[in-house]
Structure 1
Amino acid sequence: MTEPVLLPQILEKTVSENSVQLVLRIPENLLYLDGHFPQMPILAGVVQLHWAIQFAKDKFSITDLIEDVSQIKFNSLIHPQDKVTLTLTLNPETQTLTYTYKLDEKICSSGRFVPIKK
């Protein structure tokens, strides 16, 4: 058995001034899948938000402390071995970040968060 991991595999990365798009593969040995759920593992929503914050922190040099989270929607499940696209977009005027996870063209989840200013 392989050692559990905490992050997805980054297959592609496209960066522009106010956005980043990451194509991610969800590994079967992802620690967060353990017990969620044994017969049909899925990627928990809290992990999706956590990853969005962490990847935004890397791209936009923000703090990982969040002031507000809103408009979170979960539309479709994400499973091990799925290849999803995470898009993060910064609104420079409001310093609000939006995120969307897509599987092909289907939106799996989305939301918005505001980091605490440094």
Structure 2
Amino acid sequence: MKLLNNFYTILESNTNENGLSVLVKIDKEHSIFDGHFPNHPVTPGVCTMQIIKELSEEHLGKKLMLKMARNVKFMAIINPQQNEDVRFDLAIDTDENGDYSIKSTVLIDENPALKFGGVYKTI
């Protein structure tokens, strides 16, 4: 079950040798934006990170839990009124412990909005 049920829709998904690239449409009418922020919607960073987790889980077919965030750099605001289509590029590797090292760049109009690197364990 997705935590962000109905928050976004997958428009396109492509796998490659390193991971995947997924184009999603954020629901600009979602109730999350009522509080974040009225008349000036901003996609919460934690929701963006949750999308990375959910896309990775779907790709791997496994439930994941964030073990460690190595790099989290927000570079632009994702305003769903202006940028409802957002691309998530994910590179997924396994480490010596069997954990998943995931690096992601989140893009709006080909410009980075978030660069994320983290380690997830299977639950």
Q: TM-score, normalised on structure 1?
A: 0.84
1:24 aligned to 2:24? yes
Distance in 2 of aligned mates of 1:6 and 1:100: 22
Within 5 Å, give how 1:1-118 maps onto structure 2: 6-81=6-81, 82=83, 83-93=85-95, 95-118=100-123
Residues 17 and 7 of structure 1: CA distance in aligned 2, closer, same or farther (over 3 Å): farther
Name the amino acid aligned to 2:7. L
What SS does the corresponding residue of 1:46 show, helix, strand or coil? helix
The structural deviation recorded for 1:91 is 2.1
SS in 1 for 2:77: coil
- Name the SS of the counterpart of 1:107 in structure 2: strand
- Write the deviation string for residues 9-63 of structure 1: whole angstroms up to 9, x where unpaired: 2211111243111111221222322210112101000000011001101102343
1:114 Cα deviation from its structure 2 partner? 0.9
TM-score when scaled to structure 2? 0.81
Check the 8 A contact 2:64/2:122 in 1, yes or no. no
- The runs of at least 4 aligned residues of structure 1 exceeding 4 Å deviation read none
- State the distance in 2 between where 1:98 and 1:74 align: 14
Unaligned runs of 5+ in 1: none
- Determine if contact 2:106/2:113 at 8 Å carries over to the other structure: yes
| In structure 2, distance between residues paired with 1:17 and 1:105 | 21
5+ long unaligned stretches in structure 2: none
